Amino acid sequence: MIFGIGFGRTGTRSLALALRGFGYRVAHWAELYRNLRMDLTLNPEVFVAYDALIDCTMPLMYRELWAPEHKFILTIRNVNDWYQSVIRHRRSCSTTALKRKLRKEIFGVEDLHEPSLKYAFLRHEINVKNFFRDKDNLLILDVDSKDKWGLLCPFLGKERPDITYPHKNKTKKEKK
C-alpha cells in the first residue's frame, strides 16, 4: 500500500496521476472525501479497493498506518507558494461541516490564518521526517524537483517511463 501524506496543494494530484500511470488503483481527495466519516476515519473498504491513498486525511494518519511493507510519500513545496495555492484553491471551493472539521484537525484552524497554516505545514514536514528518521519507507518528493521520476521510480521499484512527469493544477506563473 502507498500513502501520500503531503498536504493538499503539494503536487498530490500529479502524484496520483503518476501512480495511476504505473497501474496503481489510486484514491485522491474526492474518492477519500466520499468515504470520510464525521469522526475523520475512513470507510475501511477504501483500504481494499485501492493500492494508494493520497491527500485528504492521509497527513493525519501516517503514524497509525505505518507498517514496514507500506510506502509513504511526503510531497512538499515552498511554504509561501503552498500558502498562495491554498488561498487560490479555497476561493473556488464550497465548505461543509466535515471540511471545516478536517481543516481544524490538520491545520489547527478553520480559516485561512496565514501564520497558523504555515506553521502547521512546516510542523507536519518536521514531524514526518522525525517519525521516519530510522525507517526506509519514506520518499520526500519536492514539487520543484527537476527529476521526480528519478526519485519516484527507484522508490517504487519501477522502470522510468518515457513520458514527462504529470503536472496538474499549474498556476499561471508555472504555465509560462
User: How confident is the model at residue 90, as a pLDDT?
Assistant: 80
Per CATH, the architecture of 2-164 is what?
3-Layer(aba) Sandwich (3.40)
Buried b (16+ CB within 10 A) or exposed e, 117-133: bbebbeebbeebeeebe
* pTM for the whole structure: 0.93
pLDDT(167) > 80: yes
Q: In the predicted model, what is the mean pLDDT of residues 149-166?
A: 98
Q: In the predicted model, what is the mean pLDDT of residues 40-65?
A: 96
DSSP 9-33: TSSHHHHHHHHHHTT--EE-HHHHH
pLDDT(144) > 80: yes
Q: In the predicted model, what is the mean pLDDT of residues 154-168?
A: 96
Percent of the chain scoring above 70 in pLDDT: 95
On average, the pLDDT of the chain sits at 93
pLDDT(174) > 70: no
**AA identity, residue 28:** H
Per residue in 97-138, pLDDT (tens digit) is: 888 899 899 988 888 889 999 999 999 999 999 999 999 999
User: How confident is the model at residue 78, as a pLDDT?
Assistant: 98
> Kind and range of the H or E element at 154?
helix 148-156
Domain boundary assignment for the chain:
2-164
